[in-house]
Amino acid sequence: MSDDELIRVMRRLAIEAGGLIMEIYAGADLGTRAKDDDTPVTRADEAADAHITAGLKAAYPDTLAVTEERAHSHGETARRFFLVDPLDGTKEFIKRRGDFTVNIALIEDGVPLRGVVYAPARQRMFYTSADGTSVEETGPFDPQTPGATRPVSVAAPDNDALVVVASKSHRDAATDAYIARYEVRDMTSAGSSLKFCLVASGEADLYPRLGPTMEWDTAAGDAVLRGAGGHVVGFDDLAPLSYGKPGYTNPHFIAHAPGVMLRQD
């Protein structure tokens, strides 16, 4: 697969899935129910999952696609595979707060090489370009024709005045206690993988997550942040987050711009 073709396919599928999500978002019935693990799922999650899975299979029939909504695929492993969260931020979607995204990433040897993060309600899209650097597309988000883009890169942080972003729906006391170790100028909240993108674009310096996440929650945002010059590291060992782990579960992690003096004391 060529990098140019790969980005075109991932971008197109993310925008098309975003369109399906917004059609359901505009209606009265989101079709919300509880999954076996008691987390919510909606008709939008399932419609976006079906569309992206079919599109990836058509374009890359020999490449495994692991998605949040297809539990039967979670026991499979591969050196090179797609990781998909068709609707990241389902709780934000249900509350109609807009901070939800479509996430598609390509993993190779545990590393998120390419990623697309599309927030259809916010009209923001970030992705890694063919050369591995990250950009934000500014519209009009036509599935077939890429719009204008601008490069994104992390900010140079001031450790005496950091901008920190944290989850809207998953904020907890442990995260607040960790953030309190830093000199913080401003705190912002965002849902879904937009938090990675805010660090990538220089709108924030630090995003700590001291709670459970799965690899499909983070892979696309991680790719975008890496392509913008940032890092996503495990909370305990500060090693780069890796993908394809047993069960596809993540450790606690910290996403940050280079230069942030990470606190472990």
Q: What is the pTM of this model?
A: 0.95
Which of these CATH numbers, 3.40.1380.20, 3.40.980.10, 3.40.50.720, 3.40.190.80, describes 162-256? 3.40.190.80
Q: What pLDDT is recorded for position 103?
A: 98
Rounded to whole angstroms, the Cα distance separating 155 from 218 reads 20
pLDDT along the chain (265 residues), means of 10: 92 98 95 85 96 98 92 74 96 93 98 98 97 95 96 98 85 88 94 94 97 95 98 97 94 97 85
Nearest CA to 195 out of 116, 255, 114 is that of 255
Q: Determine what percent of the chain falls in helix, strand and coil, rounding each to the nearest 5.
A: 30, 30, 40
For every residue of 194-263, DSSP letters joined together read: HHHHHHHTTS-SEEEE-S--BHHHHHHHHHHHHHTT-EEEETTT-PBP-SS-GGGBPPPEEEE-TT----
In the chain, where are the structural domains located?
A: 3-151, 162-256
CATH of 3-151, one of 3.30.540.10, 3.40.50.2020, 3.10.150.10, 3.20.20.190: 3.30.540.10
pLDDT for res 265? 64
Judging by beta carbons within 10 Å of its beta carbon (0-12, 13-18, 19+), is residue 34 exposed, middle or buried? exposed
3-151 and 162-256 agree in CATH topology: no
Give the 3-state secondary structure of residue 79.
coil
- What burial class does residue 211 get, using C-beta atoms within 10 Å of its C-beta: 0-12 exposed, 13-18 middle, 19+ buried? middle
